[in-house]
Amino acid sequence: MKKLALISVSDKTNLVEFAGQLAGLEYEIIATGNTAKALSSSGIKVTEISTLTGFPEIFEGRVKTLHPKIFGGILFRRDNTEDKKEAEANSIIPIDVVCVNLYPFVKVAENPESNIETIIENIDIGGPSLLRASAKNYKYVSVLTSPAQYAGFLDELKKGGVSEDTRVKLAVEAFSHTAYYDTYISNFLENKFNLGSSHIRINYPKEKILRYGENPHQQAALYGSFQNYFEVFHGKELSYNNILDLLAAVELVEDLADMQTESHPSSCAIIKHQNPAGAAIGLDPLDAYTKALKCDPVSSFGGIVTFTSVVNEKVAEKLNEIFLEIICAPGYTEDALNILKKKKDRRLLKQLKSVREERVAFKNIPGGIILQDADRATLDLSQLQTVTKKQPTKEEMDDLRFAWVIAKHTKSNAIVFVKDKATLGVGAGQMSRVDSSKIAFMKAQEHGLDLTNSVAASDAFFPFADGLLEIIKCGATSVIQPGGSVRDNLVIEAADQNNISMVFTGIRHFKH
């Protein structure tokens, strides 16, 4: 009996070599239009699908493989007597190898120049059907979806035949391939037509296995397209914790970038355990890093440093003075790289695009997940409300806005002290806002920083006046907070009694 292999691929990588070796193993090749042309022009004998079915491709290729002779050849059970009779009666020949990859919907949809008509035409119909049929009948059919599978498959075929274990693995990969494809299409169309979503569809391909998770006894892996956002070009592989800290740092400096000015065009953040050990906006990247480092040079040891500006030689020399896990920037000068690469294990990253594109955040819970919009809220200056008798100065207002950004990216309860667009003390993740204030003050004292005439930010309102009074005791002369407590009047009264200014934002920034 004939041995048939059906090939229909958009990605024609290694196509000719693969088909040629199948032909050498006495398989007859059947293929769709463009695949058939590519094989025929390379000297490989091929039969077009339309010749086998007796029916032409129609509607500009929209219908070509959807035919009983194709799906019958794939789906009939070779050891089923009735299937054999029906196949013979309908002149159906078994198809034992199916090699299909799909129209490049993802690539076309991500191209900003693609119009909706072009995108829709790249929704594959026959391809997913072929893959699912082949995968369903894995006992008899081998299904391939990627050029990366060709070599191993051919090696096994040459050794006497493909095992059922391999066919099962290929089938599962085929179902995963179509699931990812359909997930992307559904999510894209819902977003394109503003339809909302009744389901959360998550189907990211595995990018790599990580060494471990938060702790060595926990396995971990990275899924999706993280490499589209960051290029890791030096040092050890990123760990699970590294990735979380990196994202916390990048999200912070991207928000700080919105506050940069022509005279102060550079921002820097130093992150440890997803909290800022220091952050600043400076005259240049060296100034920003130096100011950020002063906040907590001890905790910065082993931290993650991110910049909004290109790292030059002077910054690199300063960075090399302490141990840092990761340095991330939009670019590096050649001299800077020569210096930074002397530390072999430290990771050097280049940020390729903004992480603000991610619009939702979710966490797993028993039986499902909880999902929320990503916290992309920014201050609307026209909505800020000074609630005290004393008004903040322009300099204080600039620092209040800066402090508010840092508080947004600090674990709750968060209290942040700032002066001259640089952090002086950070209190994070405490059960009490009073305790956060005390910790921030203690850290500032430890590193010789004076909080006198600083400003402070609180990520949520003060339920009582005690938190505000603790901040005032530390030296702050102006405070920014959301407001909204039933005791706001008492808090405002305490501010007025101590002759400080206070601004309400109307926005809360809890970070759990």
Annotated catalytic sites, by residue?
A: 136, 273
Q: Which residue has the tokens 């950004």?
A: 405
3-class SS at 141? coil
Do strands 360-365 and 4-9 pair parallel, antiparallel, or not at all (unpaired)? Answer: unpaired
Residue 43 DSSP label: T
What's the one-letter identity of residue 316?
A
What's the one-letter identity of residue 333?
T
Do strands 385-386 and 501-504 pair parallel, antiparallel, or not at all (unpaired)? Answer: antiparallel
At residue 364's C-alpha, the angle toward residues 361 and 366, to 5°, is 150
DSSP 88-126: HHTTPPPEEEEEEE---HHHHHH-TT--HHHHHHT--SH
460 and 466 Cβ atoms separated by less than 8 Å: no
Tell me the C-alpha distance between 167 and 27, whole Å. Answer: 18
- Give all strands of the β-sheet with 28-31 in edge-to-edge order: 47-48, 28-31, 4-9, 95-101, 142-144
What's the one-letter identity of residue 160?
G
Residue 381 DSSP label: G
Helix H or strand E encompassing 364 = strand 360-365
Tell me the C-alpha distance between 271 and 510, whole Å. Answer: 18
477 and 369 Cβ atoms separated by less than 8 Å: no
Residue 237 DSSP label: P
**Closest to 273 in 3D by CA, of 405, 403, 410, 406:** 410
Distances (CA, A) of 89 to 5, 72, 74: 21, 12, 16
Judge residue 77's burial from the number of C-beta atoms within 10 Å of its C-beta, 0-12 exposed, 13-18 middle, 19 or more buried. Answer: middle
CA torsion through residues 108, 114, 118, 119, sign: positive
**Closest to 225 in 3D by CA, of 376, 101, 108, 353:** 353
> Which neighbouring-strand residues pair with 144?
99
387 and 500 Cβ atoms separated by less than 8 Å: no
437 and 417 Cβ atoms separated by less than 8 Å: no
Helix H or strand E encompassing 275 = strand 275-282
